[in-house]
Amino acid sequence: MLGFGKIDGRTCVVGGEDFTLKGGSPTEAGLRKSVYTETLAVQYRVPLIRLHEGAGGSVGGPEKKSLSPPLFEPARFRSVAEAMAGVPVASAALGPVAGMPAARLVASHFSVMSRPTAQVLVAGPAVVQRAIGENKSKEELGGAAVHTANGSIDNAGADELDCLAQIRRFLHYLPSNVWELPPVEPCDDPVERREEALLEIVPRERRRGFDMRQLLALVLDRESFFEIGRGYGRSQITGLASMNGQPVGVWANDGLYLAGAMTADGAHKARRFIELCETFHLPILSFVDEPGFMIGSKAEREATIRHGTTAALTAAMSRVPWASIMVRRAFGVAQAAHFGPEGYVLAWPSAETGALPVEGGVAVAFHHEIAAAEDPEAKRRELEEALAAKQSPFPRAEAFSLHELIDPRETRPLLCRWVERVQPLLPPLLGPSGFSVRP
């Protein structure tokens, strides 16, 4: 399947498999058509939409097999990479997808799969059972619950129509290609909107969590937040939204899951998200409640420090404008990933910052003093309260280590004005992005 179409008045290229013909298994001509689909999107500089429902290669091969391709033929995945470097690529799995179609599915800026009908597989149950003796159904091997949790697929849709609606919404925030800026639309949500609920959203009890998504809804343009990858790297929240009509990337911590700590999966999710924003010139809003890297034996086995450092370096090398709002915690090396170069830094009075959270620092530095105290628990609380006062944002504000210490209700007005100020910084970013080597 291949053709041109329009979404919200913008031209796009659509391609995919026809499951009614040999289960969507690609023929030689079909593979050429897939490459040509990507080539057309790059040539015309328009978004590419792939609708997948097909198997990979067949052991029998096409009925009429030509000679093997010559050595000088371009690499099969070159067109895939060129498309991702130049235009938005959004893919949906609408049924079983395996082999080459599965590889193309995940090689996207946004991927979604129909929860009731789709499975994404390297190989199907028969091949798996024969090769390694594992007897699993398609759903057990590659259903939505599997792949939205491991990060292979960004989102799940309730059905095929929901998948298509999510692709439409994703593309709404992006330009047609990297040589254009994201479209800014009229907005009827007041710039000066100040929500009283923001005053109480962060609990005064430091160890209690809060709903970061509710906070985002109170600050961003109403009903504009489109979350990407909620089931993966769950301590980190990523998505697209708008501020006074300007599309932005939004990154925040979910303190209700592992206290918002950056896991290996969360770091990978954040890194990929920063790259998306950098590719399509989206300003980034970072709402920071970062207690640091996840700790423990599982975190060490997952190479959290390597993945987390990669995320921090990606942020440091980005060129898009950043605004970072210190809502609560900003600790350790992990906090560095939440602040872009020359970023606009705001802090709420509830913000805390330092080398590590008070609880861990006190346990390490004062364990002898606590153990020797008449009431060790009371001594621990006394030390934690004393050191917590030193981690407040007021000394940082006095040292000009942030731009503004603000009333939380001022968050939306200030960010809307910032979005207006950064407009002249966006045109020089046009064209393909690039990063140097990272760990």
pLDDT in tens, 27-50: 665 677 888 999 999 999 999 999
pLDDT score at 61: 54
pLDDT score at 214: 98
Q: Kindly state the tokens that stand for 204.
A: 């005064």
Superfamily for 2-172? Answer: 2-enoyl-CoA Hydratase; Chain A, domain 1 (3.90.226.10)
Same fold, 2-172 and 196-351+392-429: yes
pLDDT score at 19: 63
pLDDT score at 196: 98
Indicate the domain borders of the chain.
2-172, 196-351+392-429
pLDDT score at 67: 58
pLDDT in tens, 106-157: 999 999 999 999 999 998 899 999 999 999 999 999 999 999 999 999 999 9
pLDDT score at 17: 83
Could you give the C-alpha distances from 202 to 65, 219, 220, in angstroms and in order? 65, 14, 17
- Which residue is associated with the tokens 């080597």? 437
Could you say which residues of the chain have pLDDT below 50? 23
CATH number of the domain at 196-351+392-429, out of 1.10.150.130, 3.40.50.300, 3.90.226.10, 3.30.930.10? 3.90.226.10
